[in-house]
Amino acid sequence: MLRTSLIYLSRQLRVFDFVKNVGFARKMASRFVAGETISTAVEAVAQLNAKGIAASLDLLGESVHSEAEARATGRHYLEILDRIHERQLNANVSVKLTALGQDISDDLGVEVVREVIARARQYDSFVRLDMESSAYTDRTLDTFEQHLFPGFENHVGIVLQSSLRRTLDDVARANRLSARVRICKGAYLEPPDVAFPDKADVDKNYVAAMHTLLTEGRYPGIATHDEAIIAEAKRFAKAQGIAPDRFEFQMLYGVRRDLQEQIVKEGYRMRVYVPFGSQWYPYLMRRLAERPANIAFMAGNIVKESLGS
C-alpha cells in the first residue's frame, strides 16, 4: 500500500509545488539527485570518477508538451555531452524519449534524439534510452530498432525491466541486434497482466534475463542493488569464463555507496546513474517506492547530519 501511495504521489505535481520549497524534502532529494544544474551534476561525476566509478547523467523530466520544450531539452543534452568531453569525464548520458518530444510526435522525438546521439558519436560517447512505463515499451523499442540503432550501433542502447512479463522476449530481440542493454527491475506500477506482482517473480525474471545477457549480449549493464543478484552475477560470470570487462554493474546515485566502492575494489566495473535537474520530485517518489525502508534511512541520516552541523 505504501509503494502504491508513493507512486501515486509521484504523479501529483500540485504536491511537488508544495514540497519543492520544504527544506526537509530538498534535503532528502539531495541524497539521490546531484543538484539542479549541469555544473553540480558534473562535479558529482568528477567525485565518482575519482573513486574509479563511471557515471550516466540524466536530466530529470518526462513528457514535454511542446516542440520548443523538446528541442530545449535536446540542447541541454548537447551541453551535457560537451561538458563531459571538456572535463574528460568517464560518463555518458541517459535520455527519455518523452522528454525529447515523443508524445508530441514520433518524428520529433527521433529528430531530437538523433541530434543527441550524433554528438555522443562525435565524442565516442554513448546514449542510453531510459525505459518508461509499459505504455511506451513497444514504441521505444521500435524507435530504437528502426531509427536509432542503424548507423549509431556503438553509441546507443536500451533499458529493459524484469518486472514486465515480456522482457525475456525483448532480451532475445536485443541480442539478435547485438544491442547494448541495461537490465533493471522497473520502478513503475503496472497491471498484473503486464507485470509480475510478486517480487520473487520479478527477481527470477531478472536473473534469467541477466544470464542470457551475460552469455549472449553485448556489454550488458547489470543495474541492481540486490546483493544476492550481484553475487549471482559474479558467480555466473566466473563459471562461464566471462571476464569482468565484458559487463558492468550499475547503481543509482546515493544508493549503497559502500557497495559501489566495494565492487570496484573487487575489480568489477561500476557505473552510477546520476540524475539532476529541477524535476526531482517524481524521481524521488519512485526511488522511495522501490524500497520504502529508504524513508527511515534517509530521515535518520538527515537528522544525524543536522545534529552534527
How many Cα atoms occupy the beta-carbon half-sphere of 59 within 13 Å?
23
Concerning whether 58 is annotated as a catalytic residue, the answer is no
Cα 204 from Cα 8, distance rounded (Å): 26
Catalytic option among 58, 114, 128, 130: 130
What torsion do the CA atoms of 280, 193, 104, 19 make, to the nearest 10 degrees?
-20
Strand pairing class (91-95; 248-252): unpaired
Element at 231 (helix H, strand E): helix 227-239
Q: Of 182, 269, 286, 287, which residue is the catalytic one?
A: 182
| Contacts with 307 (C-beta within 8 Å, 6 or more apart), sequence order | none
**7 contact partners, CB below 8 Å, separation of at least 6:** 188, 189, 285, 286, 289
303 Cβ contact list (under 8 Å, min separation 6): none
Query: What is the spatial distance between Cα 309 and Cα 288, in angstroms, rounded to a whole number?
Result: 25
Question: Distance of CA 163 to CAs 44, 167, 203, 204, 215, Å?
Answer: 30, 8, 8, 10, 21
Largest Cα–Cα separation, the chain:
55
**Residues with active-site annotation:** 130, 182
